[in-house]
Amino acid sequence: GENVEQHPSTLSVQEGDSAVIKCTYSDSASNYFPWYKQELGKRPQLIIDIRSNVGEKKDQRIAVTLNKTAKHFSLHITETQPEDSAVYFCAAILDNYGQNFVFGPGTRLSVLP
Amino acid sequence: DSGVTQTPKHLITATGQRVTLRCSPRSGDLSVYWYQQSLDQGLQFLIQYYNGEERAKGNILERFSAQQFPDLHSELNLSSLELGDSALYFCASSADGAGGDEQYFGPGTRLTVT
């Protein structure tokens, strides 16, 4: 089955700097890669996603890149702000009636003012 | 507010007991997913239902079972509870069952087994 690794497990950056979180997956059939943000004590919320037919997607300060050959994808946050502090989860999903719903272990991002 | 509701918010029970967690999906969503999140852990996918039918199964223990009713709400039943079952249980819903669309998470039910 699918296995998703995520690095780093914790990340501290200064406000205004960039943050990068990387995930690798094992099942080449996975074709949908969402990123969820979970603030302390709250529910996970989708922040950006990418499908396997796209190499990069950007939404304001957030971008995701996908390398299908290497089976890894990354989340990039630019101009970080204190409200970006949260746990970020990546996931690898087979968009074919739910055969894979595997989330990475999470990255705890702290943005220091 | 995602539109997904879960009850109860908190549940404290003893080992060996059985509990039922309830989830109501967003209006119009046909698919419901259940996840377990233990302390400082990631999200472990348990099971998915689509329009009343089981669609996908993850790492769900045999002591756990779920169903989705005709009104699309879902229940997760946990029996013969053990201390290790203490966790935050999330329900999520999405419009269809294919897996490739956004999942909207509920606020979660925190289960404590003593």
Q: Is the sign of the CA dihedral A109, A50, A23, A64 positive or negative?
A: negative
Q: For residues B80-107, b (16+ Cβ closer than 10 Å) or e, as one string?
A: ebeeebbbbbbbbbbeebbbbbebbbbb
Environment class of B48 (CB within 10 Å of its CB; exposed 0-12, middle 13-18, buried 19+): buried
Look over chain A and give the mean of its residue pLDDT values, rounded to a whole number: 92
Hey, what are B32's tokens? 């419901």
Mark out chain B residues that contact chain A at CB-CB < 8 A.
Answer: 2, 33, 41-45, 48, 50, 55-56, 58, 90, 97-100, 102-103, 105-108
Residue pLDDT, tens place only, A17-71: 999 999 999 988 888 999 999 999 899 999 999 998 889 999 999 999 999 999 9
CA angle B91, B96, B102 (to 5 degrees): 60
Q: Is the pLDDT of residue A98 over 70?
A: no
% chain A with pLDDT above 90: 77
Residue indicated by tokens 């109860």: B8
The band of B100, judged by pLDDT with boundaries at 50, 70 and 90, is: confident
Q: Is the pLDDT of residue B2 over 70?
A: yes
